[in-house]
Amino acid sequence: MTIKAFVFDAYGTLYDIQSVATVTEEAFPGYGDIITQIWRMKQLEYTWQRSMMQRYADFSVVTRESLVYSLKLLGLTYSDDAFERIMDKYVHLDLYPDAKAALAALSGYKLAILSNGSSGMLNDLVKNTGLDQVLDATISIDSERIFKPAPQAYTLIEKKLGMKPSDVMFVSSNPFDVAGAKSFGLNVAWIERVTPQAMAAEFKPGAPVAPVTMFKAVRTQMDELGFLPDHRIRALAELPKVVGK
């Protein structure tokens, strides 16, 4: 087995989805954390629910719907302008600090993104952050009209990149995505950004928790679905190591 390509998840893996907290907090002081966490939790839930209901709508729609849900939940009123300013952050998300150097260290491999994002959102995001200069392809699940972790989503790597699953190292920080990619048959490196020790230390008996802690509790720890990653690393910078470089 020789790895010829690295294919990355976008939201949460190359891009820090928590970076929306700056704009949510600015728009609604004191509510930045809760909006950020509920928004992301519902955004992914909606991708799963719409897929299962056979009611696909693209990720830009799902992202808007989940933001509406989050603001209603808190009883917040807002102008269209304020709403659009928050949404706009989704095409200007912060890259993780080590993302560009990590991609540069993998030159010689095919490099691509495979994301739930719509083609429009992804192309804007990649361009706005300069990754269009280093990626060979930015693949949206749009054309399959079903979200990850459905196997149809992962078939797009071979369809668009011409690479067999065995030749590809798929990289994600999202446990559901790791399970889906493994179940499909890809080689998978998991970016474990929150260790079990750090996670457990955030809980004190009987104490309330920060919304971000609940988000981490639900979405950052390896799932018990019977599909484990081949590689478990702490940061994108460790990727050359998983292919023996």
Report the interface residues with its own copies, using CB under 8 A.
29-31, 33-34, 37-38, 41-42, 45-46, 48-55, 65-66, 68-69, 72-75, 146-151, 176, 179-180, 183, 196-197, 199-200, 203-211, 214, 217-218, 221, 223-227
Based on CB atoms, which residue is closest to its own copies, 222 or 237?
Answer: 222
CA angle, residues 97, 186, 4, in degrees to nearest 5? 70
Determine whether 225 is exposed, middle or buried from the number of CB atoms within 10 Å of its CB (0-12, 13-18, 19+): middle
Range list of β-strands (E), 28-127? 94-95, 110-115
Measured at the CA of 171, the angle between CA 137 and CA 43, to 5 degrees, comes to 85
Least distance (Å) from its own copies to the CB of residue 157?
A: 16
User: Cβ distance 218 to 176 under 8 Å?
Assistant: no
Provide the Cα torsion 146, 148, 152, 156; round to 10°: 110
Region class of 117: left (phi > 0), else alpha (psi between -120 and 50), else beta: beta
Min dist CB 59 to its own copies, Å, is 14
Backbone angles phi, psi at 58, to 5 degrees: -75, 170
Q: Give me the catalytic one of 9, 16, 58, 142.
A: 9
In the complex, the smallest distance separating the C-beta of residue 197 from its own copies, rounded to whole angstroms, is 7
Nearer to its own copies, 52 or 104 (CB): 52
Give the shortest CB-164-to-its own copies separation in angstroms.
20
- Nearest distance from C-beta of residue 40 to its own copies, angstroms: 11
3-state DSSP call for residue 97? coil
Residue 118 or 129: which CB sits closer to its own copies?
A: 118
Work out the number of other CB atoms within 10 angstroms of the CB of residue 62: 23
3-state secondary structure of 194: coil
With respect to its own copies, which residue has the nearer C-beta, 50 or 110?
50
Residue 189 β-bridge partners: 171, 231
Is 230 catalytic? The answer is: no
Least Cα distance to 36 among 245, 223, 213 occurs for 213
Decide whether 123 or 183 has the Cβ nearer to its own copies. 183
Question: Which residues participate in catalysis according to the annotation?
Answer: 9
